[in-house]
């Protein structure tokens, strides 16, 4: 069955870095575009980043542009989100989602990132 | 930057019908924005209900339907059930590789 599983969350100090991973199974990752979406505690959903199938096209929300980098390794069935210069407002549950017709069809359960000193 | 707006909350009686809407701070919603709808209960990951305006995701009951109503996207729940009590988010594809979620609507069934 199709699954995406996020990992790599944790507590990090402001200004620090963290790399999230999204492990895909049950489907051929190289055939799908992928996204990261986040949700701050008690807040709504926010789209974060997109990477197309081969990894050459990438797009970001303005709130993370220049600080976050999305990438993928199709040979390892994994999508990544490198987060640098982290701020308190980046504290959130980060979800990985598979793209389907400009939307998402499968979501992971999320991984919590807490930015705090 | 364009804001995607939703009603903050709605209440519906069991068995009743409710229509949530999703608009733009400037301009009208059309199918070219590929509006989607998601359901989320507290502590859970979102679940995709509707994509491409009115296509139901796999396993979604047919009491959920999507449409364009006037200048907004709409999600209608017909015959609401207790477990439909959730937060509902819309999302638009703005073009140029940018997606924007709506502000979310909390639906209470009572």
Interval A27-47: pLDDT, tens: 999 999 999 999 999 999 999
What is the model's pLDDT at position A101?
93
B57 contacts in chain A (CB < 8 Å): 105
With a CB cutoff of 8 Å and minimum separation 6, the contacts of B44 are none
Q: Are B88 and B39 in contact (CB under 8 A)?
A: yes
Rounded CA-CA distance A115/B9 in Å is 30
Confidence class for position B1, pLDDT limits 50, 70, 90: confident
Do A102 and B99 make contact, defined as CB atoms within 8 angstroms? yes
With a CB cutoff of 8 Å and minimum separation 6, the contacts of A47 are A35, A37, A61, B91, B98, B99, B100, B101
Q: A108 has which bridge partners?
A: none
What is the model's pLDDT at position B31?
96
Residue A33 structure tokens: 């575009």
* A-B contacts (CB, under 8 Å): 66
């Amino acid at each position: 069955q199709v699954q995406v599983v996020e990992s790599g969350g944790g507590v990090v100090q402001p200004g620090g870095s963290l790399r999230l991973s999204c492990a895909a199974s049950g489907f051929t990752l190289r055939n799908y575009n992928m996204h990261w979406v986040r949700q701050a505690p008690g807040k709504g959903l926010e789209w974060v980043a997109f990477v197309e199938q081969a990894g050459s096209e990438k797009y970001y929300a303005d709130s993370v542009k220049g600080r976050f980098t999305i990438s993928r390794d199709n040979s390892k069935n994994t999508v990544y989100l490198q987060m640098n210069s982290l701020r308190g407002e980046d504290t959130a549950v980060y979800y990985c989602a598979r793209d389907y017709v400009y939307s998402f069809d499968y979501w992971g359960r999320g991984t919590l990132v807490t930015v705090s000193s | 930057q364009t804001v995607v707006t939703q009603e903050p909350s709605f209440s519906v009686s069991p068995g009743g019908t409710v229509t949530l809407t999703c608009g733009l701070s400037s301009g009208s919603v059309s199918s070219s924005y590929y509006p989607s709808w998601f359901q989320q209960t507290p502590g859970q990951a979102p679940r995709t209900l509707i994509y491409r305006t009115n296509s139901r995701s796999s396993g979604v009951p047919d009491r959920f339907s999507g449409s364009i109503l006037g200048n907004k996207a709409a999600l209608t729940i017909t015959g609401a059930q207790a477990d439909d009590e959730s937060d509902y988010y819309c999302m638009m594809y703005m073009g140029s590789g940018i997606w924007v979620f709506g502000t979310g609507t909390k639906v209470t069934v009572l």
